[in-house]
Structure 1
Amino acid sequence: MKILVISKRRLYTGFIIIVMLCAGILLWRSLAKSTLWYTNENEPIRNVDPESNKFAITCNVDWGNEVIPDILKTLEEENVKITFFVTGRWASNNPEILKEIYSHGHEIGNHGYSHKMHSKIDRETNRMEIKKTEEVIESILGIKTHYFAPPSGDFNELTLEVAQELGYKTILWSVDTIDWKEGSTAQVILDRVLKKPHKGGILLMHPKPETAKALPVIIKNIKKENIQLGTVSDLLN
């Protein structure tokens, strides 16, 4: 009888240990997944927790002035705020359009000054491209930018180091419209965007006419997934 009691106790203790180990592993995996983008501060951010009900929209601007009003109109009608990453040279040449974007409540990010490939330039030029853009935007809007989107998504370790030294998080994307490519009609853009997972993701687009046509449908469809659309800050916070 004594042996039986001891055996039962051992079985019970072993069962408890296994349950606790399993719970610990599940908790660790959950925390690791939800904080993945924090694990290395010097890595670019493409998305966050895939279980998040948030989705950021970004628009990189170095041209496309004639399309921006249509994009702003759609965003206003859908009550969606997004992040516009602007180059310094564009901001310098188009201060009134930049003010208009900002006046609608949209977030402004740094897209480098002259759309250089940042993996191909030295430390000082990397720094100048980001810092000069920051100064131009601040002189127009009175705000400091905190997010940097390298042109064409081109970067290397040096780019990331410089951006971090200047107080920036480097932002990329998980869903790409590829709207700059020839043959990218509104329908093609829709097919590219809507077939991708959206939870915790970041959409990249540009002020292209076909993108402006596709945007209302993109927003409506993602909203149907009960996903909140917003800026990069909305997503990361």
Structure 2
Amino acid sequence: MKTFLKTGCIVCTLFLLGTLFYEWIYPDIFITASARADEGLIEFLPTDAPVVALTFDTVSESDTTSQILDILETNQVPAAFFITGAWADAHPEDVKQIAKAGHILGSSGENHKNMVQLSDAECEHELAALHQKIKDRTGLDMTFFRPPYGASTPQLIQLAKNCGYTTIGWSCDSMDWKDYDSEAIINAVCRNSQLKSGAIIRMHLGTENTPEALKAIILNLKERGYDFVPLSEVL
């Protein structure tokens, strides 16, 4: 009996130490989980109407912006694009085309840094630098912010609010950033348990199979009675 209890204590201790070590090595995972429970992080639009919002994050490896914009125009679907300073510098014409098409430009900071690891001053610089860059290039004032890596805290959300931003998360992740094939991306959205009124869908620019999947997702959701609305229509 004593041996059993001793073994149990050792196992519990090792599990606790392993959890603490994992949290220390990968803080984003734990920070994100806690932030999602915070009321300041918007993961659903505050509506009971059968509407959803489509959002895109940007990556720099490749570019599918023209394809995505063509699909959105053909289907008359609005979207929000959360960009970084590096992406804006690498794709200046895409930034202009997104704005010209009437879509929302949102911020993920100048350098896509994990802002929970930065000082308040550094966070403010991340937001201000990109804000001014986009203002100079498009004349637009960005008002929506998506924290890089989804990592956030109530303090960061409040800081963003003080800088004029509403912080946007997501409720349905397409998982296209994992380079899944189009069918897997479609299923990740269309079979998602969080796909309901007010859902915010997250996709990416620059991922190979996203354009093909996007066509099917739009068709599927429209057939199910969902309308696509811009974030600004509800928030």
Q: TM-score range by the shorter chain?
A: 0.7 to 0.9
- 1:117/1:152 contact within 8 Å kept: yes
SS of alignment partner, residue 82 of structure 2: strand
1:186 aligns with 2:182: yes
Are residue 164 (structure 1) and residue 141 (structure 2) matched?
Answer: no
Partner of 2:65: 68
Residue 98 of structure 1 deviates from its aligned partner by 0.5
3-state SS, counterpart of residue 219 of structure 1? helix
Which residue is equivalent to 2:223?
224
User: Does residue 92 of structure 2 align to residue 95 of structure 1?
Assistant: yes
Q: Which runs of 5+ in 1 are unaligned?
A: 1-39
Q: For residues 39 and 164 of structure 2, what CA distance do their matches in structure 1 show?
A: 11
Q: Deviations over 1:195-226 (max 9, x none)?
A: 12231110001011211110011001111122
Aligned to 1:212: 211
Partner amino acid, structure 1, of 2:94? I
- The amino acid of 1:101's aligned partner reads I
> Match for residue 16 of structure 1?
none
Aligned position for 1:86? 83
- Partners in 2 of 1:134 and 1:65 — Cα distance? 23
SS at match of 1:60: strand
Match of 2:117 among 113, 116, 120: 120
Q: Is the contact made by 1:50 and 1:201 (CA closer than 8 Å) also made in structure 2?
A: no
CA distance in structure 2 between the aligned counterparts of 1:198 and 1:117, rounded to whole angstroms: 29
CA drift of 1:158 comes to: 2.5
What amino acid maps onto 2:121 in structure 1? E
Q: Structure 2: any 5+ residue segments left out of the alignment? A: 1-36
- Change beyond 3 A, Cα 1:168–1:49: closer
Moved more, 137-146 or 222-231: 222-231
Q: For 2:55, what is the secondary structure of its paired residue?
A: strand
Per-residue Cα deviation, 1:105-161 (whole angstroms, up to 9, x for no partner): 111111111111111111111111111111111010011000001111111222112
Q: Indicate the structure (1 or 2) with the bigger Cα radius of gyration.
A: 1
Which amino acid counterpart does residue 220 of structure 1 have in structure 2?
A: L
**What is the rounded CA distance, in whole Å, between the counterparts of 2:71 and 2:115 in structure 1?**
32
Task: Judge which range, 206-215 or 85-94, deviates more.
Answer: 85-94
